[in-house]
Amino acid sequence: MTILSLDPGKKIGRALWSDDGLMLFADECDLDTALDYLANARMHTIVVEDWRLFKRQTEQTGSKMEASQLIGAVKLWAKLEDDRKMVIQPSSILPVSALHMGIKLPKGHTPDRISAMLHGHYYLVSQGVLEPHEITVE
């Protein structure tokens, strides 16, 4: 079984981890690809960045709300079987996780693939699977 970490949005960052902390892949995809993967992959835990719409986010006007759709799908995924777990993390963990991984965050928006990696790594550190500054990539 594996752990999937997600950064929801119009583009969705994904990172897949083994239970022992090996990052198997990280990429970006659209909502349909993410939903297909969610429906067919075998994970026991999904870590997802929390997302909220604020008034000042005028660029979201007319949005199809892909982030909300993905979070709702993950909530349903977790409810369908008792051994599935959904973990919601705030975006505020990104700087700490970047320090743990030894990477420098860019100014402005963090690329979705990197954000997904950071969320997965932070979760694995919080569970005692990885130590800060420890990452293994296949």
pTM: 0.88
**Angle of helix 66-80 versus helix 31-40 axis, rounded to 10:** 10
Rounded Cα–Cα distance for residues 137 and 119 (Å): 15
- DSSP assigned state of 93: G
The total number of structural domains that make up the chain: 1
In this model, does residue 23 exceed pLDDT 80?
yes
Strand locations in 1-56 (E): 2-7, 12-18, 22-29, 43-49
Query: Residue 115's pLDDT is what?
Result: 97
Query: Residue 41's pLDDT is what?
Result: 87
Q: Is residue 58 part of a domain?
A: no
Q: Is residue 59 part of a domain?
A: no
Q: Is residue 138 part of a domain?
A: no
Condensed to tens digits (0 to 9), the pLDDT of residues 102-129 reads 889 989 889 999 999 999 999 999 999 9
In this model, does residue 89 exceed pLDDT 70?
yes
In this model, does residue 97 exceed pLDDT 80?
yes
CATH assignment of the domain containing 93: 3.30.420.140
Q: Which residue has the tokens 């979760």?
A: 123
Q: What is the residue range of 92's domain?
A: 2-51+65-133
Condensed to tens digits (0 to 9), the pLDDT of residues 35-77 reads 999 999 899 999 999 976 655 655 555 567 789 899 999 999 9
Q: Is residue 98 part of a domain?
A: yes
| H-helix segments, 41-111 | 66-80, 94-101
Q: Is residue 56 part of a domain?
A: no
